Amino acid sequence: MLALATAIAASASITAQPSAAQPKPTIVLVHGAFAESSSWNGVIAELERDGYAAVAAANPLRSVASDAAAVAAVVRSIPGPVVLVGHSYGGPVVTEAANGNSNVKALVYVAAFAPDRGESSLSLSAKFPGSTLGNAIVPVERPDGVRDLFIERSKFHAQFAADVPKEQADLMAATQRPVTETALAEPSGEPAWRKLPSYWIYGSQDRNIPPAVMRFMAERARSVKTVVIDGASHALMVSHPHDVADLIETAATRQ
């Protein structure tokens, strides 16, 4: 009888043990045009402080299809769940990169495009008035015939990062990476936001993507949570890293 009682007690103790905690998702951050991976530095610091592993993937900015393939390869290299985060043109890239990668649990759009099939960044930016980006662009013709687009350095602060200190915005202007004109005009494929939960954050003073366009896309994607930061520019991952990280962590913990 004593042996039986001991066995029952041991069994109850095992049953009462909590199940193993699920691993935290790795956060894969994808920059957009006129930015580069270090634009996520403030967000990464917040995420890592809270125990998340974060990877700022290099976005080639050459074409939606090839850029998405490059990011998808990064996602496939990560064991365990992933939350994909895209800024600006990085939005179309993560929208396609998530397809076929079952470890992607959520999409977070940070002042980003989220195209439907056949739409492009250019077609969406013209859907509602408000973008002044066209007046700030400097094209550069490359020897291979590809046309790269930059933001004119003297206009970068006001156009891209108005709520970032000027000294920092000037550094961002100097290190910006160009996007090809064809990438912005390239029609997108099947949107992953139709199958995955999406989360949105953008600023009310975005001059690259009209806020009305982002509101339209968030509503169309049935965003789980949408955050609008009053007065924030297009570079809100730099000017408001805490708010961006907080939304990413919300997406990560709801999976």
Q: Are 131 and 209 in contact (CB under 8 A)?
A: yes
Task: Give residue 190's pLDDT.
Answer: 94
Q: How far apart are the first and last CA of the chain?
A: 46
> pTM value?
0.91
Tokens 């199958």 belong to residue:
195
Task: Give residue 23's pLDDT.
Answer: 86
Task: Give residue 218's pLDDT.
Answer: 98
Q: Please state the φ and ψ torsions of residue 161, each to the nearest 5 degrees.
A: -145, 50
Task: Give residue 255's pLDDT.
Answer: 57
- Which are the contacts of 45, defined by CB distance < 8 A and separation ≥ 6? 241
Q: What is the Cα–Cα distance from 118 to 26, expressed in whole angstroms?
A: 30
Contacts of 122-125 with C-beta under 8 Å, sequence gap 24+, read 122/184, 122/185, 123/185, 124/209, 124/213, 124/217, 125/208, 125/209, 125/210, 125/213
Task: Give residue 254's pLDDT.
Answer: 86
pLDDT by residue for the chain (255 residues), tens only, comes to 434 343 434 444 434 444 456 789 999 999 999 999 999 999 999 999 999 999 999 999 999 999 999 999 999 999 999 999 999 999 999 999 999 999 999 999 999 999 999 999 999 999 999 999 999 999 999 999 999 999 999 999 999 999 999 999 999 999 999 999 999 999 999 999 999 999 999 999 999 999 999 999 999 999 999 999 999 999 999 999 999 999 999 999 985
Task: Give residue 5's pLDDT.
Answer: 41
Q: What is the Cα–Cα distance from 98 to 192, expressed in whole angstroms?
A: 6
